[in-house]
Each structure stands twice: as structure tokens, then as C-alpha cells.
Structure 1
Amino acid sequence: MKNKIFLLFLFAVQTAFSSNITENQKLATICKVWGFLKYYHPNVADGSNNWDEQLFTILPLVEKAQSQEEFSLVLENWINNLGEVKEIAPITKQKNVEYFDKNFNLSWVTNSKVFSKSLSKKLKFIEKNRYQGKQYYVQYDLDNGNILQFNNEVKYADFKLTDKNLCILTLFRYWNYVEYFFPYKYQMDQKWDITLEKMIPLFTAAKNEDDFYDAMRRLTVKLNDSHVVFYRYSTPGSNKILNYFPAKCKIIDEKIVVTEIRADSLAEAQNIKIGTVITKVNNKTIKEIIAENRGLIPASNVAVYLDRLTESALSGYSDNVQLEFLQNGKYITKTINWYNEHDSHRNEYKKGAKIKKEKFKVLDNNIGYVDMEILQAKNVPDMIETLQSTKAIIFDIRNHPKDTNYAIAEFLNPEPKEFVKFIDPDLSFPGRYIWRNGIETCGRINPNYYKGKVILLVNEKSISHSEYSAMCLKTAPNATIIGSQTAGADGANACFQSNGFQTWFTCYGVFYPDKKETQRIGIVPDIEVKPTIKGIQEGKDEVLDRALQFINKGK
């Protein structure tokens, strides 16, 4: 009886291990193994193998594997053919190095549902005896303007979207870039492993350019990173021209509100003015548009998503659009013309249009105002001389500053102040991050520092260096942040370029000195203020007005 039970148990185990494995499971697993070997295997990470060709060779063999056992054997034979991995002395932790491991997880190499014990053992051995030289396929250099670069990738001049191998290669490359070199992987809404499993069918089923680029765009959105931009190149000979609405807009209370006119004559001809309220686009409510575009627009948080959605919703390849307006309590539907970029953005193309804005000025009640978008480092001494006797200075950072934060911080602070801490990828152990030594400081010993109130204005337009500047200037003794949630994407960008498109993502981590995150959260205002439809229609800057109220009344 005992022998029968044992034989039944043995049969059940063998049957379970020999069960079928789906194409999706096989591709997801080969993506992980291919990426792992690319950065870990000594005979791959040094560039000794043509790694794309290795993928193209292994894919047909993987496709033929019908069971987990066969699949595991294919991978093991493949790894064996890459050459010997020599056992090295245990890699010891460097002194005074503090690791950041929230992204780091190689537990998948021991997944018994996919790998045999011998294959898992081989993968773990490669991890322990991983490549320690200069990585062939990736470079990280803080002194280089690009910082994180993906090197030596083959460019395919004859790339065809009908070539399934090249589509899979593009997915695998990008997925592994993010897997090992995106510092905020742990903050994604959806686990990156699950994203891979869900995206594979979109890539393998792509029948044309639009399908492929749509899949790629949807993949980048899953990073939940406001630094992500997906730019598709124009196809040679294409007659498609993207047309735009002649105004900038903002979504408030599930309505689109015009905030700035980009082409005066075009807007006037169609009765478009600041404060115009749009409630439907091509018969879709703004609420419906918000819901159906979440998978197409990259953003760290809802504030940025809504900001980017406005231009997406009011642009297209047609010549016109049907809009529903709310005017004087009544809903009116009209067909509105769209225009090419040059015509629709005519105000922005006018010669000298931005020169008219003042870099800094003194407002009523002896209050200074600085437009951080146009203030340059060379202007800071004049700005200090003009504003040093004011009772408060408002630094408007609802834009992209021009590297003036350190110079301004020396004026605002009595002594050096810590304001930011970073993490960098560890190329000797891909996927793991290291806290950069020390904490970045700003300011200097300055007995004559500015004694008045310091107000920083921020909103969803405050991204990357804007957020960094806000963190820096917030160190001032009497500083207050007023506005709304920022973009939640600080730090530098890495670029991924492939046939027909390019995209970016954040490449190192930015935290407060206490290691509190800034990614996705952004710079949290001390006083939250958001524009209202009524305020826009009345021509008010409600965020600036709230700052003036705070300065004058102290609350």
C-alpha cells in the first residue's frame, strides 16, 4: 500500500513538472533570463557575444518546448554554450556603502514552476560570480550630461514591424532597462513583472506600425513617471499632420477651461477666449475622456495626467473637432477648426514674445516677485540688489528654472543647509542601488542673508529641476510653499532610442535628507491652492493672490 502511494505521489510530481507552459509564460521568462545574462554573465556583459543574435537563435527553440521540463532544458543548454563562468572570491560589501534595495529582487531565478533545480542553481551561481568589469551595454557617469546610457546596441536599418523577432527584441530591451536601471520601479501602480506578462500579447499581435507604437507607448506609461515622454518619428512620405486647438487649457471639475490664447486671430474668429468652458469633445464628456486615456499618457500622479490630457484631447489628425461649450448656463455645440503647430501656436512664435516678461520686479506693498523661468544665473546679482530690502520675495517656480537655485540659496540662507539625497545604480550588481555619499547642501555662511518671507509657487508644471529648485530654496529660514502638487519626477533622464521612436525615464533617485520620497508625491505645498473656473474667467492668478494674502496677513 505504501509503495502504491509513493508511486502515485511520484507520478503527480512528474506530471506537474511536465505540464504545458504557455507561449506567454515562455516569452516572459526568456525576457528575464536574457536580460539577467546581459548584465550578469561574464561572457555576455563584457560584449563577447552578439546578444541580439543569441536571442533570435534561442526563440525558435523556446517556441518548440512543450513542457516546463523541455523549456528549462533549452535554457540550461543555452547558458552552457555561453562558456564557463569561473568561480571567484566572494564579492564583499564595500566599506561605507549603504544600499537601497527596494527595487532589487532576483527571487524569480528560483521559481520552481518554471525552472528545474539545476537551472535555478546555475542562475544563482552566475549571480554570485557575476561580471565585475566595465559593462558593455550600459554606462553610468555622473560627469556625463547623459548620465545613464545604453551602449553598443545594434541599430537595424531595415527594421520591419512585420519581423516578430525585432518587435520582441524592442520589448525585451526596454523592459530590462527599466528592470535594472529605473530607480522607482517599486513605486509603480502595477508590478513590472505583471506589466511584462500583459504587454507581450500586444507586441506579438501587432500587425502594423500603429499597433506596435501603441503597444510601446502603453508600456512606457506603466512606469508612472512624469519624465516619460514617448515621441514617434514621422514616417517618410506620411501625409499625417497633427493639428491643434489655438489655446492652452486646464481641466477643472471635469471641464476643460481655456487659460491662455496661443493664436489671437484664430481664437477670436471662433469666439475662443480665456475662461471658455468645454464640456464635450466629439460627443464625449471630459469625464469619459479622463477615464479612457489613462493607459496612453505617462504621469507620476493625477495632476500631471490631467495637465497632459488637455493637449492630447484637443489635438488630432483631422481638420476640425466638435466641441460642446458651457456659455451663460447653456450648452452649445459647435464645430471648431484645428490648425498645424505653427499656426495654432502663433503667439509663441512671435519674435521677442517672451522678452516682454520681467525677470524680477517689486510689487505693491514692497513685495518682490521673481519669474524663475526667465531668470538666469547672470541676473541673480541684480535681482538681489533690487529685492534685498523687500519684506517678502515670491519665487514663481510654476515653470522650468535655469540653474539659479544655488546662487539664490546663498542669498536666502545664513549657512549651508542640507536639502537632498540621491541613489545611483550599482553597475557591479545591476538592479541594486547605492545611496550617494553625503547629503547635497546649498547656501553658505552669510550674516547678511535675506530676512524677509520667502514664498515658492508650484503646481503640476513644476517638474524635475523645478522640484529640485523648490527643495533647495525651501531651506530658507522663513520659506513657505504655496500652490498644488508638483509633477513628482525629479532627477536626470535616460533616453531609450529605437527604430521609429524615442522615449525617456528618470535615471537616478532623488529624496529629502531624511530619505522621504519625492517621486510621484512631488513637492507638497504648505498651503494648497488650485485655480478655479471663476478665477480664470475673472483673469485672476489665484495662487499668486493667495501668496500675497499670506504675506500681508500672515495666514
Structure 2
Amino acid sequence: MRWHYPFFDELSIDWPSKLRPALIAAAGARSGAELHDTLLFLLAELRDNHAQVKHLSRSSAGIVPLSWRRISDEIIVVGGTASALARVPVGSRIVEFDGIPAAEAYLSMDRRVSAATQGYRDSVTPFSMSLGQIGALKTFLVQPPTSGENETIALPYLDREIFDPVVREPRPATGAILADGIVYVDLEMLDQAGWAAVLPKVLEAKAVVFDVRGYITNTAFGIMGHFTDTRLWSPTWQTPIIVATGTSGYQNSRWAVMPAQPRIDAKAFFLVDGRSGSADETLAQIVRDNRLGVFVGEPTAGTNGNIASFDVPCGFSVRFTGMRAIGADGASIHGKGIVPEHVVKPTLSGIREGRDEVLEAAVAIAAGG
């Protein structure tokens, strides 16, 4: 890892000083769970959104059908499946997770995640808390937004492959008309057939709002070709060249998005936040470098580039970012992300009123010309 992780110098991380005490702690671990935690604490020092340690003893194949976010000092429900929200409405305050005070449970997970930016930390900590064994139950003590009475709710962990994309804040359907001449497109769940279906509306629109608050599909990159008459280059990918004595520079590569027909003349607006990382930031870097649209929301996650991984004894697998993604300005976005032209953050009152304040802001900006 010392030679394959390219951000030690950029982030001023003294890796040997982090590694030595972790190795001592690992040698004294009395269980697989304790060893797992030791490795998690170590990788948190990388400040890398891709950094993870996995072990079969701790399943992450399930996800509870509820999502939450820390607003000030409270943990607030912000989304979920329709059936879960019927029991725990948006805006509810979570008082306890599995009998543990919410703030304590949140902090415990927060210490175990690796995050390049605060925005990503604010999204990945709740997400990591929501993962577990399919079929097991997670218990919540919640205070509904319209009542002072606390209520205990148990929800099952569902198959993450099926439910991961829908455990989020309520959103319009792709193709929805948000206002006169303004069309909504959710890039998190969009496939080629979905894009073909909505394209006629986009061609007639004066503005299109693309939602990038979640992991996008590959369809998103081809869509950008409709907004240009020239080739769009990806960031420059810099992969460390490893020799016997360490790292010897980088191997550079990049790829292009070609212009596509029909040409779209609508103005483009992109909703982003701390969930917008990795492939999302490839898209964001292309948009920023080629001035294809306007960003609205919160800064992006701040980590892009392919993942490197290796296995260690006792069944653990380790992964981290193995390359740099350099934009047209010659800089990496690692640890910084892309800051929107219009910074908008959800508020507790807005959440409890059922509003998507980021989306509302984008519509207002688009409507204003």
C-alpha cells in the first residue's frame, strides 16, 4: 500500500507512524471482530472514500429500508422505501439504534469509516450503519415529527442489490416536468432505454435537471455527448509505476466521450452532494472542465480513480484508491471535491415539510434563466 496509494504526500499522511501502532494492536487482537476494527481504524487514516476492509464475519449484503442524516446534533430520517416510511415518516428523529443512544452509535461508526471530505463522511456514516445481514432485524427508537411519543420499530435488512438504489429521499420520476420547460432526469437509475424514452422531452425543454446524488450508471457519460460538438476528455488517470525501490512516476491515460446526435440545446443543471463520488466525479470533472452545466447542492465526495485491492490473512480483503484523477486545471480533486456554483444544504424544517430544497433551488435557478 505504501507505494500503490498515491495520496500520502498530497494529504501529508505519515503512514509509518500510523502503521506501527496498528500492527501492534492487530497482533494483540483477541477476535476477528477486534482485528477488523483495528484494520478499519488504520484505513480511516488514509482519508480515502474507497478505503474499506471487508470480512465474511460482518455481512454488508443487507440494507435496512430507511435512510437518515445528521442535522446539527440530531439523527433525522430523510428517506426510505414506501413501506418503511409508512411506519417511520420522513423527519422522524432517531433516538436509539438497537438500544444504543443514536449519537453514540453514530460516533462509533464514524470512527470506522475512511472519508476524504466531511460531505462524504456525512453520507457514508449513516449508510454504513444501515448495512447488515439479510433477514436480520434492526431496532429503532424513533420520535415521529408530529408526536412527542417515542416508538420502537423493527425493520429487516433487505437484499442490498435490489433495494440499495431506492433507499433514499423521495424523488420525481425521470421525465417529470418540474416547471414550465424544465425536465428532471435521475442519473442514478437511468439505463439506455430510459434515456431513449425521456430524450424527446429533453429536446423540447429549456432546461434539464440531472440528479447525481447517488452512484450513476454508465449511460450518463454518453448523454454528455449530446451537449457538445467536440470531443470530451475524461480526467487524466495517473497510475503509480512501481519499481523495486518504490514509485517511479505515473502512467497516464484517458478516454473520450464523442459528440452525439441529436444535439441538446437545453441548459443543464446537476444536483450533487457528498454521495457524488468516484464515477459521479468523473462526470462532474467532465462537466466542469467543458462548461457543460451548473452544479447545485453540496460539494462532491472528493475521491475518484480505480480501486486497488489485496487480501490479508484471516479472510480480510482491503481496498483503496489506486490512481489519481487529474482535471483540465492540472489538479486532483482528492480531499476537496467539486464545490457547486450554488451551495444548498437540506434543513430540518425543509425535510419535515417534505421538500427537496436542493431540487427546488435548481428549478428556481433554471426558471430564472
Q: What's 2:69 paired with? A: 250
Of residues 346, 349, 354 in structure 2, which corresponds to 1:531? 346
Structure with the higher strand share, 1 or 2? 2
1:489 counterpart residue number: 303
Q: Does 1:337 align with 2:154?
A: yes
> CA, structure 1 residues 306+319, in 2 after alignment: closer, same or farther (shift >3 Å)?
same
Question: Within 2, Cα distance between the matches of 1:328 and 1:359?
Answer: 31
Aligned positions of 1:179-194 closer than 5 A: 179-188=2-11, 190-194=13-17
Q: Quick check: 516-525 or 273-282, which moved more? A: 273-282
Alignment CA distance shift 1:300-1:247 (3 Å): same
* Residues 1:272 and 2:72 aligned together: no
One-letter amino acid matched to 1:180: W
Per the normalisation by structure 2, the TM-score is 0.83
2:119 pairs with 1:303: yes
Alpha-carbon deviation of 1:549?
A: 0.4
Give 1:411 shift: 1.3
Report the CA distance between 1:246 and its aligned residue: 4.3
Deviation track 1:462-508 (CA, whole Å, cap 9, x = no partner) reads 12111111222335555111111222121111222244232321111
- 1:423, 1:314 → 2: CA distance? 34
Find the aligned partners of 1:508 and 1:244 in 2 and give their Cα distance. 29
Partner Cα distance (1:372, 1:519) in 2: 23
Whether contact under 8 Å (1:452, 1:478) holds in the other structure is no
Distance 1:393 1:242 in 2: 35
- In the other structure, the counterpart of 1:110 is none
Which residue among 276, 298, 305 is the counterpart of 1:462? 276
Q: Which amino acid aligns with 1:302?
A: Q
Structure in which a larger fraction of residues adopt helix: 1
Residue deviations 1:62-117, cap 9 Å, x none? xxxxxxxxxxxxxxxxxxxxxxxxxxxxxxxxxxxxxxxxxxxxxxxxxxxxxxxx
| Closer, same or farther: CA 328–200 of 1 in aligned 2, 3 Å | same
Counterpart of 1:422 in structure 2 is: 237
Match of 1:517 in 2: 332
Percent identity between the two aligned chains: 21
TM-score by length of 1: 0.57
Q: How far is 1:276 from its partner?
A: 0.8
Shift of 1:333: 4.3
Larger-gyration structure (1/2): 1
C-alpha change, 1:322 and 1:257, in structure 2 (3 Å) is closer
CA distance in 2 between counterparts of 1:289 and 1:419 reads 40
- Show CA shifts across 1:130-183 (max 9, x none): xxxxxxxxxxxxxxxxxxxxxxxxxxxxxxxxxxxxxxxxxxxxxxxx201112
What is the Cα deviation at residue 459 of structure 1?
1.2
Distance 1:226 1:542, change over 3 A: same
Q: How big is the shift at 1:306? A: 2.2
CA distance in 1, matches of 2:29, 2:287: 48
1:298-353 alpha-carbon deviations (Å, 9 max, x no partner)? 222222222222244467799664636374584x44443243435xx899399xxx
Alignment correspondent of 1:210: 33
Structure 1 stretches lacking a partner, 5+ long: 1-177, 351-355
Maintained 8 Å contact 1:359/1:371: yes
Question: What's the counterpart of residue 168 of structure 2?
Answer: none
2:163 counterpart of 1:348: yes
Q: CA deviation at 1:431?
A: 2.2
Secondary structure in 1 aligned to 2:2? helix
Name the CA shift for 1:207/1:233 in 2 (closer, same or farther; >3 Å).
same
Q: Deviations 1:9-66 (Å, cap 9, x if unpaired)?
A: xxxxxxxxxxxxxxxxxxxxxxxxxxxxxxxxxxxxxxxxxxxxxxxxxxxxxxxxxx
Q: 1:195 and 2:18 equivalent?
A: yes
- Once the two structures are TM-superposed, the CA of residue 427 in structure 1 deviates from its matched residue by 2.8
- Map 1:154-193 → 2, pairs under 5 A: 178-188=1-11, 190-193=13-16
1:222 lines up with 2:36 in the alignment? no
Distance 1:505 1:349 in 2: 22
Identify if the C-alpha distance between structure 1 residues 324 and 362 changes in structure 2 by more than 3 Å, giving closer, same or farther: closer
What are the superposed Cα offsets for residues 389-426 of structure 1, whole Å, 9 maximum, x if unpaired?
Answer: 31111111112222234422221113234552221111
Larger RCO (CA within 8 A; separation ≥ 6): 2
Aligned to 1:431: 247
Q: Structure 2: any 5+ residue segments left out of the alignment?
A: 166-170
Looking at structure 1, the residues matched to 198 and 227 of structure 2 have their Cα atoms a distance apart, in angstroms, of 12
Q: Does the 8 Å contact 1:199/1:219 carry over to 2?
A: yes
How many pairs does the alignment contain? 360
Q: 1:337 to 1:376 in 2, by over 3 A?
A: closer
The aligned residue for residue 171 of structure 1 is: none
Specify which of 321, 325, 328 is matched with residue 143 of structure 2.
Answer: 325
| Whole-Å separation in 2 of the counterparts to 1:470 and 1:366 | 24
Structure 1 residue 458: deviation in Å?
A: 0.9
The residue aligned with 1:452 is 266
Is the CA contact 1:263–1:347 (under 8 Å) kept in the aligned structure 2? no
What is the distance in 1 between the residues matched to 2:207 and 2:60? 48
Name the CA distance, whole Å, in 2 between partners of 1:372 and 1:322. 31
User: Over aligned residue pairs, what C-alpha RMSD do you find?
Assistant: 3.5
Aligned counterparts of 2:164 and 2:246: Cα–Cα separation in 1: 45
Distance 1:348 1:313, change over 3 A: closer
